[in-house]
Structure 1
């Protein structure tokens, strides 16, 4: 699982019980997962199609630093399926897990289109590709 995004739990993120409001966390997850899908599919037009059961394992409180982990688990013809874990950055204690988030690749008119991807693209691969095309490096 790749943990790229970190969030600092602030007062405006809390529910009346003084812990992290689930709605704030879900907003962060949807945004992070959409960005991950955009990068993987190389298309800024993706939409959230499905989010499976959300398992809140523990809570976070004001001042905690949490990190969001996202990994691609399946590439469909027009979709990408991801899984997610959110954990406390310091203690590594799991806060939430989601087994399936499905995003669909769209064209300009909002229709699903094939993306042609079959495996996770890591950022290092993108930099290697860019370096290969850089005339200053050859």
Structure 2
């Protein structure tokens, strides 16, 4: 199911001509893992970097920006979203800044609740 959503998201990006924009989407959780994460109260972002360059990943809510970490080129990594940015009235955005450039690209806004896993796809172009 999630691979189908990923293909649809990639098709939408290619059709709209918005190159290099990260795509944020909710990952359909496994019920047992979701119950454990909800009990702990953490939310995660799984970053799939399909670009050759390493990238810094930030989460943005309102005027506040928090660096989550660095994901290597052509790799995937999972980061914890800070608890004070989860479950609030304001949605979050993700910024991806490739280490080879000075420019950051922003994802669309997405609401995150405790126990959620958000997927973030960094396109190869």
Q: Please, what TM-score do these two structures have when normalized by structure 1?
A: 0.28
TM-score by length of 2: 0.30
Considering Cα pairs closer than 8 Å and 6+ residues apart, tell me whether 1 or 2 has the greater RCO: 2
Q: Which has the larger radius of gyration?
A: 1
